[in-house]
Amino acid sequence: MSKQQARLHTIPEALDRLGIGRTTLFGLIKSGAIRSVTIGKRRLVSEAALCEYIERLEA
């Protein structure tokens, strides 16, 4: 796994990366369309999870 794929994005970073709103992102996370992890009180989204979601949209 490359360093870029191992990167974890904060919610604001993931929002910017995808160009969507907060409610939409949390809906995608809740539905399982985008994987995320929680560390302490922080929810983070991996670069790999974002790339997988984008690839599914393009398919």
Characterize the bridge pairing of strands 42-46 and 37-39: antiparallel
Distance CA 20, CA 26 (A): 10
Distance CA 25, CA 11 (A): 8
3-58 fold: Arc Repressor Mutant, subunit A (1.10.10)
Least confident of 1-15, 18-32, 34-48: 1-15
Task: Name the residue ranges covered by the structural domains of the chain.
Answer: 3-58
pLDDT tens column, 13-30: 999 999 999 999 999 999
pTM of the model: 0.84
